[in-house]
Amino acid sequence: MPVTVARSLDDALSALEEHPNALILAGGTDVMVEVNKGTRPVEQVISIGRVPELQDWEHEGDWLHLGAAVTYTELMGEELSSLVPALAQAARTVGSPQIRNAGTIGGNLGTSSPAGDTLPALFALNAILTIRSKTTVKEVPIDEFITGVKSNSLNPGELIEKIRVPVLEGPQEFCKIGPRNAMVISVASFTLLTDHQEKQVKSCLGTVGPVPIRPTEAEDFISGEVNWEQNTVRPEVLDNFAALCSSAARPIDDHRGSAAYRRHAIRVLSRRAASRVFSEEIS
């Protein structure tokens, strides 16, 4: 099968224009599993793992621009983990060192799995994707990009160029449950961001619905209850927040975990995450 190894973004876009239905190959950690299984017929491949423009990231004012081919290992690095801690923590939970060296954030978006570990953080951050073809460029908010279980709004001829996320002031948390202590597919995950400037809590539930879920009611509730000066919160607020998060979940039963356990897990994780970033007021 013909493979184009793109050396520049323009290379990649030209190849895509010529073969709009070609398979885009980044780290290959999802693609090769399917190819080896025989469930992914491949006619034409465009490899983007060596496109410098896609491997770069840039911190500009309040924004961070991440090239689609930025790897998990890079996300976990010192600089990025101080800018987007939740994303870095999520990256650390992905696979093994080998997978993290190869796998990319763009690939996680491309696969659009309900268990994709960077997606909840990107939802909570209201990430904006730059989608480019040879002739067009557009910005798509993450919740319009991901449209369902393993489906997204990418059209033939397009690729994800970069992902733009705000750099927030305040602690962030990502926690993920799996039946093993590392290298495991998420059974449920919880992301919590604090925005001290806007005095807002943003959060997202992972793996408990077809797409990541923002528990907006819970976010609004806790944002209004936090003592932003002291960075504290009353214990019963944490309990209510956890209950609201858990009731926003829409989990399913599968061989990795029951719906009931997943809902329970969201309650526990959301409470713990919130009590990591806010001290509990002693009543």
Ligand X SMILES: Cc1cc2nc3c(=O)[nH]c(=O)nc-3n(C[C@H](O)[C@H](O)[C@H](O)COP(=O)(O)OP(=O)(O)OC[C@H]3O[C@@H](n4cnc5c(N)ncnc54)[C@H](O)[C@@H]3O)c2cc1C
| Cβ at position 97, least distance to ligand X in Å | 11
Alpha-carbon span 151 to 169, nearest angstrom: 32
Helix (H, G, I), strand (E, B) or coil at 46: strand
Structure tokens at 3: 């493979």
Which option in another protein, ligand X, none does residue 111 bind, with CB closer than 5 to 8 A by kind? Answer: ligand X
CB 119 within 8 Å of CB 108: yes
Which option in another protein, ligand X, none does residue 100 bind, with CB closer than 5 to 8 A by kind? Answer: none
Q: What is the DSSP string of 182-240?
A: SS---SEEEEEEEETTTTEEEEEEESSSSS-B--HHHHHHHHHHSBTTTTEE-HHHHHH
Residues at the contact surface with another protein, assessed by CB under 8 A: 36-38, 89, 92-93, 96, 173-185, 189, 255-261, 263-265, 268-269, 272, 276
| Cβ at position 70, least distance to another protein in Å | 19
CB 153 within 8 Å of CB 145: yes
Residues at the contact surface with ligand X, assessed by CB under 6 A: 23-31, 33, 48, 68, 93-95, 99, 102-104, 106-108, 110-111, 116-117, 154, 159-160
Which option in another protein, ligand X, none does residue 260 bind, with CB closer than 5 to 8 A by kind? Answer: another protein
Which option in another protein, ligand X, none does residue 166 bind, with CB closer than 5 to 8 A by kind? Answer: none
Residue positions counted in the chain? 283
With respect to ligand X, which residue has the nearer C-beta, 110 or 251? 110
| Cβ at position 171, least distance to another protein in Å | 13
Burial of 232 (0-12, 13-18, 19+ CB in 10 A): middle
Which option in another protein, ligand X, none does residue 26 bind, with CB closer than 5 to 8 A by kind? Answer: ligand X
Read off the DSSP letter of residue 226: S
With respect to another protein, which residue has the nearer C-beta, 100 or 132? 100
With respect to ligand X, which residue has the nearer C-beta, 153 or 279? 153
